[in-house]
Structure 1
Amino acid sequence: MHAEGFILDEPSISSTLPMVGDIDDVAFGGHFHGYVIKVGLESDSCVVSVLIDMYGKCRRAEEMVRVFDEVGRMEVGSCNALVAGLSRNSLVNNAFQVFRDFKGQGIDLNVVS
Structure 2
Amino acid sequence: MNRVVRCDGCSDQECKPGCVCNPGFILDPEEGRRCIPISQCPKIDLTSFKRDRDNCMVNSHPLQCRSCCAPPTCVTKVIPNCQICPAICVPGCSCHPGFILDKPKGRCIRIDQCPQN
Q: Classify the TM-score, shorter chain.
A: under 0.3
- Which one has the bigger helix percentage? 1
- Which one has the bigger strand percentage? 2
Greater C-alpha Rg: 2
TM-score by length of 2: 0.26
TM-score by length of 1: 0.27
